A and B are shown apart, each in its own frame.
Chain A
Amino acid sequence: MKSLLKFITCGSVDDGKSTLIGHMLYEAKLLFADQERALELDSRLGSRGGKIDYSLLLDGLIAEREQGITIDVAFRYFTTDHRSFIVADTPGHEEYTRNMAVGASFADLAVILVDATKGIITQTKRHTRICALMGIKHLVLAVNKMDLVGFDTKKFDEIKKEFSRLTTEFRFESIQVIPVSATEGDNITKKSPNTPWYEGLALLPYLEGVDVHSNDDVKPFMMPIQRVCRPDHTFRGFQGQIEAGSIAVGDELTTLPSREKAKVKRIFVTDQDRNSAHAGQPVTIQLDREVDVSRGCVFTKDNQLQEADSFSATILWMDDSVLTPGKDVLVKVGTKVLPGTVTKINHKIDINTGNTITADHVVKNEVAKCEFSLSDGIVFDTFEKNKSIGGFILIDRVTNMTSACGVIIEALQSTDNADRIDMEITRDVRAQQKGQQPLTLWLTGSVADNSAVAKEIEKRLVARGYHTMLIDNSLGESVRQIAGYATLLNNAGLIALVLPGTTNGNDQAIAQEIIGQAFLPIDIAVNSKSIEEAANAAVKMVVKALIQV
Chain B
Amino acid sequence: MDKLMLDSIDETTHLDQLEAEAIYIIREVAAESENPVMLYSIGKDSSVMLHLALKAFYPEKPPFAFMHIDTTWKFKEMIEFRDRKAKEFGINMIVHSNQEGIEQGINPFDHGSAYTDIMKTQALKQGLDKYGFTAAFGGGRRDEEKSRAKERIFSFRNKNHAWDPKNQRPEMWKLYNTRINKGESIRVFPISNWTEKDIWQYIRRENIDIVPLYFAKERPVVNRDGQIIMADDERMKLEPGEKIEMMRMRFRTLGCYPLTGGAESNADTLDAIIEETLGAVSSERTTRVIDQEEAGSMERRKREGYF
Interface of A toward B, CB cutoff 8 Å: 1-4, 32-35, 60-63, 65, 71-77, 79, 84, 86, 98-99, 101-102, 105-106, 134-135, 217, 226-227, 229-231, 235, 237, 239-241, 246, 248, 268-271, 274-278, 280-282, 284, 295, 318, 330, 332-333, 335, 337, 387-388, 391-393, 395, 400-402, 405
Which among A1, A63, A135, A282 is the interface contact of B166 at CB below 8 angstroms? A63
With contacts A217-B9, A270-B19, A275-B4 taken as known, whether A32 is within 8 angstroms of B283 at the C-beta atoms is: yes
Q: Is the CB of A229 within 8 A of B5?
A: no
Question: SS class of chain A's interface: helix, strand, loop or mixed?
Answer: mixed
B30 at the A interface (CB under 8 A):
yes
Is B55 a contact partner of A2 (Cβ separation < 8 A)?
no
Stretch at the interface among B21-29, B103-111, B129-137, B232-240: B21-29
Q: Is the CB of A388 within 8 A of B173?
A: yes
The CA-CA distance from A246 to B60 in the complex, in Å, is 24
Q: 5 A-B Cβ contacts within 8 A?
A: A3-B14, A34-B286, A86-B193, A239-B27, A282-B20
The reply on B241 being an interface residue by CB < 8 A is no
Known contacts A63-B166, A231-B60, A405-B172: does B1 contact A226 (CB below 8 Å)?
A: no
Q: Which of B142, B165, B282 contacts A34 (CB 8 A)?
A: B282
A290 to B283, CA, bound (A): 52
Q: How far is the CA of A158 from the CA of B251 in the complex (A)?
A: 56
Q: Which residues of A contact B56 (CB under 8 A)?
A: 239, 270, 282
CB distance from B304 to the nearest CB of A (A): 14
Interface segment out of the listed B65-73, B176-184, B209-217, B219-227? B176-184
| Measured CA separation A102–B175 after assembly (Å) | 11
Best-buried of B23, B143, B174 by chain A (most CB within 10 Å):
B174
Q: Contacting B60 at CB < 8 Å: which of A76, A77, A230?
A: A230
B294 shortest CB reach to chain A, Å: 11
The answer, among A4, A75, A269, for a CB contact under 8 Å with B142, is A75
Report yes or no: B169 in contact with A33, Cβ–Cβ below 8 A.
no
B61 an interface residue at 8 Å Cβ cutoff? yes
A239 touches B57 (CB 8 A): yes
Q: Is there an interface contact between A4 and B17, defined as CB atoms closer than 8 Å?
A: yes
Chain B residues bordering chain A, tally (CB within 8 A) = 63
Interface presence of B271 (CB below 8 A)? no
Q: Is the CB of B27 within 8 A of A278?
A: no
| A72 touching B165, Cβ below 8 Å | yes
Instruction: Assess the B27–A391 pair: CB atoms within 8 A.
Output: no
Instruction: Say whether A74 contacts B170, CB under 8 Å.
Output: no
Closest to B1 in A: A248
Contact A395 B177, beta carbon cutoff 8 Å? yes
Which residues of B have CB within 8 Å of A295? 31
The answer to whether B61 and A231 touch across the interface, beta carbons within 8 angstroms, is yes
Q: Which residues of A contact B9 (CB under 8 A)?
A: 217, 278
| Complex Cα gap A275–B61 (Å) | 23
Picked from B20, B31, B175, B280, the residue with its CB within 8 Å of the CB of A227 is B31
Cβ-neighbour of A387 out of B4, B28, B173 (below 8 A): B173
**Of A1, A32, A98, A217, the contact of B280 (CB 8 Å cutoff):** A32
A77 touches B142 (CB 8 A): yes
* Cα separation A31 to B179 with both chains bound (whole Å): 38
Q: Are B143 and A77 in contact, with the CB atoms below 8 A? A: yes
Contact A402 B5 (CB under 8 A): no
Distance to closest chain B CB from A307 (angstroms):
19
Give, as a whole number of angstroms, the nearest-CB distance from A188 to chain B.
21
Q: Assuming A32-B281, A270-B55, is B195 touching A391 (CB within 8 A)?
A: no
Please determine whether A226 and B172 come into contact, CB atoms closer than 8 angstroms: no
Contact call A276/B31, Cβ cutoff below 8 A:
no
> What does the 1/0 interface line of B139-152 toward A look like (CB < 8 Å)?
00011001101100
Do A401 and B169 touch across chains, with their CB atoms under 8 A apart?
yes
**Extra contacts besides A134-B172, A387-B173 (7): CB < 8 Å:** A106-B171, A226-B27, A226-B28, A268-B58, A282-B55, A400-B181, A405-B170
CB-based contact A73/B179 at 8 Å: no
